[in-house]
Structure 1
């Protein structure tokens, strides 16, 4: 979480870290725990896009992804999930712990997230959730592209 805090504090932006007693393992669990809409949850998926590392920050509202469609829409020939070794090597985090900011990868951001005042996602620690505005996500990440609203 130190990397996350450092990035956000250097930017001087508002954010909140919320501690909870059990890990949040799905968008549905996060929405129930925080009493929010499922679309406000923001899972981070690490993928290989034309063999290069990329983070997808998605709205939990999306559900399952068609990687071929996402790749095509974002200008890539091929996209697939990174394996656990690649996630750790590229981000320094274990699969399932990659934070919304501070992972160091270019990002494709889901425009569905911009519909909300605040979104909730990974902090780098399974028992803490990061809450921030979509504008901070844009500011704190290297945005490579956007996934259009559904």
Structure 2
């Protein structure tokens, strides 16, 4: 788990252009970020439980659902469902609703629709800060499993 300073250092070391946005009121997750940013640009990170362990899905926060069958097909193995928030906290050190785009150490599935944007907004792990990053940097700095539609 990285605190905000460690995240900034990590991104700087990896030559990532980023902006941190501070909020007066804490955000309770990506859905709250939609109040501040264009919904098309807000990424949510959800953790799923699969036959091979936990994986993070970085998807548009406005999505209502994901097609589990298509995710099973893309992965080549089964998704058991959403991961228990206690298990997410134990595995990553972060609260499930505050899971950052980078630094959670889980392999990711990335929403292909988010790649068309120059940048996206997401959690940092700190409820008072949101980060603006290029989608390609989120992909580069995570262990990529697959793209999802």
TM-score by length of 2: 0.87
The reply to whether residue 5 of structure 1 matches residue 8 of structure 2 is: yes
Instruction: Please name the residue that 2:137 is paired with.
Output: 136
Match of 1:18 among 17, 21, 29: 21
The answer (yes or no) to whether the contact 1:41–1:60 under 8 Å persists in 2 is yes
| Partner Cα distance (1:28, 1:94) in 2 | 15
1:84 Cα deviation after fit: 1.7
Partner of 1:105: 106
* 1:90-123: CA deviation from partner (whole Å, max 9, x where unpaired): 1111121110001111111111111111101110
Residue equivalent to 1:123: 124
Please, what is the CA RMSD of the aligned residues? 1.8
What is the deviation of 1:10? 1.9
Greater mean alpha carbon deviation, residues 60-69 or residues 124-133: 60-69
The CA deviation at 1:57 is 0.4
Return the offset for 1:56: 0.5
Whether contact under 8 Å (1:42, 1:57) holds in the other structure is yes
How far 1:27 sits from its partner (Å)? 4.7
- Structure 1, unpaired ranges of 5+: none
When structure 1 is superposed on structure 2, of 63-72 and 96-105 the one drifting more is 63-72
- 4+ runs deviating over 6 angstroms: none
Q: Gaps spanning 5+ residues in structure 2: where?
A: none
Q: How many residues get paired?
A: 146
Q: Which residue of 2 aligns with 1:73?
A: 74
Deviation at 1:28, TM superposition (A): 5.0
| Contact 1:47/1:81 (<8 A) preserved | yes
